[in-house]
Amino acid sequence: MKRSALVAFVLGATTVFAFAPFEIFPLPLLTLALLFGLWQRADSARAGAVLGFAWGLGLFGAGVSWVYVSMHDVGGMAVPLAAVATMAFCALLAVFPAAAGFAYGKLRRGTGWRDAVLAAGVWTLAEWLRGWLLTGFPWLSIGYSQTPPSPLAGFAPLVGVYGVGLLVALLAALGGVAWRNWLWWLALLAICTLGIGLRQIAWTEPVGEPVSISLLQGNIPQSIKWEPERLPLSIETYRRLAQAHPAQITVLPETAMPMLFDAIPAEVLADLTRQGDVLIGSAIASGNGGYGNGAIAVSPKRSIQVYTKVHLVPFGEFVPPGFQWFFGLVNIPMSGFTPGKRGQAALTVAGQRLAINICYEDLFGDELAAALPAATLLVNLSNTAWFGDSLAQPQHLQIARLRALETGRPIVRATNTGMTAAIAPDGTVVAALPPFVESALTVSVTGYQGSTPYARLGDATAVLLALLACLPVLGQRRRPAVR
């Protein structure tokens, strides 16, 4: 059992190479097939859970270890505590593949295609639960590995990231039991061909005239961003970039102005809006003395529209009940944000309807789809300086590419340190700035109208398919487990 757990751990860690920046998209077909093979040979549900947990520790330990950077390098937490906290976080995420392994062990009936379909179903349900329970953290869901040029990317506008992940898991599981069978290779070819065909379908269409957008990347180190004496550095950096790169819409990153919006000097707003509308990432005052993480659209005539972040980051933007002590160990400025109301309207800026999302809100496709079909363009404001020069930045850009595919909308991203980029509705990156440089990306973007099937139904289709995948085993008598 120890050897099998070690193999599962290595398989999970290896799967990180399927995601950005490596993007070896066929890799999960192999690593998941081998994991499901280990589940098939496990002699109990408990053993399946151990294997799933080991796989998860490998994936998250290698893939989201950048959490350590935010707690130690930026937050100042002591090395031992930051290491323990990072391991605990990865272990919590690993509970979900462990639950999938346990459920598989309880429900499987022996061998064959029914068990393979079951494995794909419980895997997908576990990933969906990880994106929902405890406010959700769907980072490194398998479907994110299938951005273009993967042929499975064509299914994203239909069934979203979890549906794409279900396809990956299904092909892997069936391949694990039947890769020598020509029917499996025929099915793989047919699904890939169908995915390529789906990529040719334009689910949405352009609307209106193109608009010029300047995405500013200030590259302000997180370690000095919130120091009062450094405030002029942030203001002057973004004022200079805005004036040097004029556009109809200028977008600043999340909390680019490390102050309440009401405190931004009038002359700064005048300079920022001299060439057109500006979207500013800044804290905004809310009721009862609180404040929210906001994106504020300001026109040259000083009309103001506001979006307040709804899906806050636990421990980073709000304190979960019972964890007040945590903030005595780490320095996280402005960690008591108030969430905005759900269902906020898109902002009308320069003739476009902008659906705003801030930081990791773009991990939740269901929530972004709620702004459609009214929105013509998705805009993400992020500050990934918290995670240094790590895998977090390219992984986050890959997540945004899936959102573009799901919604059939272009996405522009303004970030503090990277990855500032423009993404087409087909999930391809039109242009991007190098990370960790002070610069601006000016692009011409056309809005889109219409809805993809995913935008209308959200994650419900993938969840229903995953539940259906668990049904075939229920009508079959259980065979004794092989020991």
Q: Where in the sequence numbering do the catalytic residues fall?
A: 254, 309, 359
393-416 burial: b if 16+ Cβ within 10 Å, else e: bbbbbbbbbbbbbbbbbbbbbbbb
Contact 257, 235 (CB under 8 A): yes
165/147 Cα distance (integer angstroms): 11
Amino acid at 329: L
C-beta separation of 351 from 208 below 8 A: yes
Helices (H) and strands (E) in the chain, counts: 15, 13
In SS3 terms, 132-197 reads as: CHHHCCCCCCHHHHHCCCCHHHHHHHHHHHHHHHHHHHHHHHHHHHHCCCHHHHHHHHHHHHHHHH
Distance between CA 113 and CA 230 in Å, rounded? 62
- The tokens describing 357, both together, are 């999302």
Distance CA 276, CA 246 (A): 8
Output the six-digit token pair for 25: 């998209």
SS (H, E, C) 29-70: HHHHHHHHHHHHHCCCHHHHHHHHHHHHHHHHHHHCCCHHHH
**Dist CA 324 CA 92 (whole Å):** 19
Distances (CA, A) of 438 to 240, 241, 268: 11, 9, 19
Residue 332's SS3 state is: coil
Nearest 5°: phi and psi at 134? Answer: 55, 40
Distance of CA 134 to the CA centre of its chain: 16
* Among 157, 168, 142, residue whose Cα is nearest residue 200: 157
Q: How far, in Å, CA of 67 to CA of 387, rounded?
A: 7
